Amino acid sequence: MLGKFFQKPGSEYSDRVPPGQHLTNGFPVLTYGQTPEVHRETWQFRVWGSAQEVTFTWEDFMAMPQSNFTADFHCVTTWSKLDVQWTGVKVLDFMKQVEVDPKAAHIMEHCYGGYTTNIAIEDFLREENFFAHTLFGEPLPADHGGPLRLVVPHLYAWKSAKWINGLEFLDKEELGFWERNGYHRRGEPWAVERYSDR
C-alpha cells in the first residue's frame, strides 16, 4: 500500500530530497487536532510583542504585492513533495508594513485553532518564505491551511503554520507546540534536525 504513494527518490531528484525522506505525489494533510473554521470576512492577522502592534484584514493582505512560488515541502514524518505551486505574499513584502524592535530575535507563529511554532528572525526574513492563499491555482483548501498559511521551504513543514493569524516578536526564544513536545527548535531537513537534543 505504502509503495503506491511513497517512492524512493530517483537519481533525478535525489539531490533535492533530504536524508531519510521519501517522495510523495499526493499532498497528505498533517494537522494536530481539528481543522478550524476561518472566514475571510472576519479574518485578522495580528503582529505584537517586540514590534509595533498592528492588525491586518483580509483586504489588507490582498492589497499587498502578490507573487507565485514553487517550493519543495518536507514533513518530518518523512514525506517530501517537490515543486508545490503557491500564490501569496512574500514575507519580505509583508514585513515592509511591520516595524520590529531591534532587540527582537525570535518569533512565535500563532494560528486559528491554537497551534504555535517558533522561528528565529533570520530564518523568517528570507527571500523564499511566503504567506500562501492559493495552491496549484485553486484557493488554498481549509485542510491545507486556508485561507492563509505560512510556507518556510528551508525548514521542516511543521514551521509552515496553517491558518496563521499572528506573529509574536520575542527577544528570547520560546518553544512552540511541537518544539515543546520533542521536536527540534530549528528543524532544518538537510541537517536532519528532527528531534530536540535536550
Ligand X SMILES: Nc1nc2c(c(=O)[nH]1)N[C@H]1C(S)=C(S)[C@@H](COP(=O)(O)O)O[C@H]1N2
Q: Provide the β-strand partners of residue 164.
A: 111
Q: Where does this chain touch Mo ion (CB under 5 A) — which range of 22-30, 42-50, 114-122, 180-188?
A: 22-30
Kindly identify the residues of this chain, within the stretch 103-142, that bind ligand X according to CB under 6 A.
Answer: 111, 113, 115
Q: Where does this chain touch Mo ion (CB under 5 A) — which range of 9-17, 38-46, 85-93, 157-165?
A: 157-165
Q: Where does this chain touch Mo ion (CB under 5 A) — which range of 68-76, 101-109, 144-152, 162-170?
A: 68-76
- Tell me, residue by residue from 113 to 152, as one string, x for binding to Mo ion by CB under 5 A and - for no binding: ----------------------------------------
- Closest approach, Cβ 1 to ligand X, in A, equals 19
Report the residue closest to ligand X, judged by CB: 115
Question: Which member of 161, 165, 187, 189 binds ligand X (CB under 6 A)?
Answer: 161
Report the residue closest to Mo ion, judged by CB: 75
Q: How far apart are the first and last CA of the chain?
A: 36
- Using CB under 5 A as the binding rule, whether residue 158 contacts Mo ion is answered as yes
User: Please, which residue, 106 or 162, has the CB nearer to ligand X?
Assistant: 162
- Using CB under 5 A as the binding rule, whether residue 75 contacts Mo ion is answered as yes
Spell out the residues 6+ positions from residue 63 whose beta carbon is closer than 8 angstroms to its own.
none
Question: Which member of 157, 168, 170, 187 binds ligand X (CB under 6 A)?
Answer: 157
- Closest approach, Cβ 115 to ligand X, in A, equals 3
Distances (CA, A) of 74 to 18, 52, 101, 164, 195: 8, 33, 31, 19, 15
Q: Which residues bind ligand X (CB under 6 A)?
A: 27-32, 75, 111, 113, 115, 144-145, 157-158, 160-163
